[in-house]
Amino acid sequence: MSLDFIKRLSDTQPILVNVLRGYAALAPTRSLSFPAELTFEVVHSFLLNDILLNPLFTTYPPSPQYQVVFWKWALNNLEKLIDSEVYMFPPKVRWWLIMPKDHEIDTQLYEHYVSLIPTTSPQTVGVKPPIPSYVTYFWESNSGFKTATLLESRTTIETGTTGLKTWLASLVLAQFLITNPELVRSTRVLELGCGVGLLGMIIANLQLSPEYSGGHLYLSDVNAEVLDRCKNNLNLPCNRSSAHPALTCTSLDWTDSLDEGQVTALRSSLQAIMPDMIVGADVVYDPTIIDPLLRSIHLGLQCKPTAMALIALTVRNEDTMAKFTCMAEQCLLVHEIRPELADTQDFWGPGHYDSSCSQTVKIFCMKVKHVC
Ligand SMILES: C[S@@+](CC[C@H](N)C(=O)[O-])C[C@H]1O[C@@H](n2cnc3c(N)ncnc32)[C@H](O)[C@@H]1O
């Protein structure tokens, strides 16, 4: 799918890129600024051609629940833009301006909005839980804009797992790797607790850019539904990851490291993967998970003396974070890396609009110290 539209927009009307990225990432409209300083003609053409009729969004649309809010906001603001342009002129000439075609909103925009309005009774509107939606993340690399499109849950926990949506720590670690692509480019990478696959998609892109040079990527998770979703997302034809020749989604349970009957099989799986780099994002959300996670990281790092792990964690609870670093330091060399780079500048992710995401994300680099 061609991404020429975003290059054209960023060259000519960069302010529209933010609206487009916000729409693609389902950003709340309160976080978007309508480009009222541009002419009606420019904004109208953008909304019609680059959003409504854009093949990326017609094939992988944001949920109807999001779109109804977005298009209400866009159409209201577009109507205000017409008014502001028309009322700039004295009353005598206004009728000339109201009539011409170039100040009419295309009926396709209204028809689309009307088709989205829920047919349910007003009492139930807004009460239904949000349904899974396609979400598209854009980021800029040396070779231009790239995208990753995923089907994601819009709730924190769905069917008993936290793995069906993308978490802030994934965006932060992805940003760090985009800035440091050599860490994953031609290496064997294992992701623990991969969730729906955003970080994996970015790593796949980095391994394929500018051309594939032998990197291997293993995305692992304990939950079968999460792994299926991840696999489907990576294989969406719009995603470059679908062309990765050495990408595997595999089941891997950290708690096997605590079980004498399972640990040998876990060690063998890790030895078969032989990772140079282990990554994980938002994999500590419960203190009981710390021990098996660290044991698994340690087993994986032991496969190669040069191996390293990068683990990005959201600080939700200071005690849990302190417990994690304390336990990690017992058997691994740990240092926190360049926190000033730990942001999501390139992504229209939760960090842009959700105040609860003023949460800090820390990235820890880990290497084996000695055999525990
Ligand atoms: C909060 S989600 C993070 C998902 C993804 N890394 C992200 O940042 O968007 C935690 C993930 O860890 C996985 N997980 C939890 N316990 C696990 C275990 N024992 N072994 C492997 N994965 C596990 C979950 O299934 C879930 O996908």
- Would you say residue 139 lies in a domain? no
Ligand 1 centroid–CA 194 distance in Å is 6
What is the C-alpha to C-alpha distance for residues 332 and 344, in angstroms, rounded to an integer?
A: 28
Q: Which structural domain range is residue 249 located in? A: 154-368
- Would you say residue 141 lies in a domain? no
Q: Which of 107, 124, 141 is the last residue of a domain?
A: 124
- Its pTM stands at 0.90
**Which of 251, 282, 296 should be mutated for ligand 1, with most atoms under 8 A from CB?**
282
Give the CATH number, domain containing residue 222.
Answer: 3.40.50.150
Record the tokens describing residue 38, joined without a space: 């541009």
Ligand 1 centroid–CA 193 distance in Å is 4
Tens-digit pLDDT profile for the chain (372 aa)?
Answer: 778 899 899 899 989 998 999 999 999 999 899 999 999 999 999 999 999 999 999 999 999 999 999 999 999 999 999 888 765 656 666 555 555 556 799 999 999 999 998 765 555 555 677 889 999 999 887 778 899 999 998 777 777 778 789 998 999 999 899 989 999 999 999 999 999 999 999 999 999 988 899 999 999 999 999 999 999 999 999 999 999 999 999 999 999 999 999 999 999 999 999 999 999 999 998 899 999 999 999 999 999 999 999 999 999 899 999 999 999 999 899 999 865 544 555 665 555 555 555 678 899 999 998 654
Q: Where are the alpha helices (DSSP H) in 184-259?
A: 198-208, 224-234
**Which of 283, 294, 295 should be mutated for ligand 1, with most atoms under 8 A from CB?**
283
Ligand 1 centroid–CA 153 distance in Å is 14
- Would you say residue 204 lies in a domain? yes
Ligand 1 centroid–CA 163 distance in Å is 5
- Would you say residue 314 lies in a domain? yes
Ligand 1 centroid–CA 222 distance in Å is 7
Ligand 1 centroid–CA 197 distance in Å is 11
For residue 109, what is the enclosing H or E element?
A: helix 107-116
- Would you say residue 199 lies in a domain? yes
The structural domain count of the chain equals 2
Residue 231 and residue 351 share a domain: yes
Cα angle at 275 between 273 and 279, to 5 degrees? 115
Residue 199 and residue 99 share a domain: no
Sign (positive or negative) of CA dihedral 340, 312, 353, 319 = negative
- Would you say residue 136 lies in a domain? no
Lining ligand 1 with CB less than 6 A are 161-163, 166-167, 169-170, 193-195, 221-223, 226, 252-255, 281-283, 285, 289
